[in-house]
Amino acid sequence: MSHYKQRKRIMKHALIILFAVMLLPAVAAHGNEKNYTILGAGEISCRVVLKNPEDKGLRKFYQNWAQGWITATNYFGEYIRLGLKQKTGIKGPFPNDIAPREDVIWYKILSFCSEEPKALLSDAVKELLNSQWRKQAK
């Protein structure tokens, strides 16, 4: 295996672990209050996201963070379902894999943030996930 492929593989696994660490507290959270830590761009206010939506560098930064959260959700989907079953008594019929296009991710973030400017980027991504689950449940 070439050095580049090995390094890429290590980075992939490191990112999965990082996002898993970020997601697991959310899965374990009880109630609607936020009693878990959000790391990275997820802490950014929607007002900040909306300040310069045409900046392609910032757009990519926000999209990459969202893709990491979505990847972790896909990876830990069964744990999420089990956590929801414990919380609500119903095992959710959530999809095995969510893979929205980049433009859909960005549109959903901007749409949510426009309606909820006091919210966080992580709230926008959670709503994106919920909308994808609702779409597939139909």
- Calculate the average pLDDT of the chain: 78
Tell me the pLDDT tens digit for each residue of 55-103: 999 999 999 999 999 998 888 877 777 776 777 776 665 656 788 888 9
Report how far residue 67's alpha carbon sits from residue 46's, in angstroms, rounded to the nearest whole number.
17
Tell me the pLDDT tens digit for each residue of 111-128: 999 999 999 999 999 999
Inter-residue contact 35 to 26 (CB < 8 Å)? no
- Give me the pLDDT at residue 35, please: 67
pTM: 0.66
Structure tokens at 135: 């779409």
Inter-residue contact 124 to 69 (CB < 8 Å)? no
- Give me the pLDDT at residue 48, please: 94
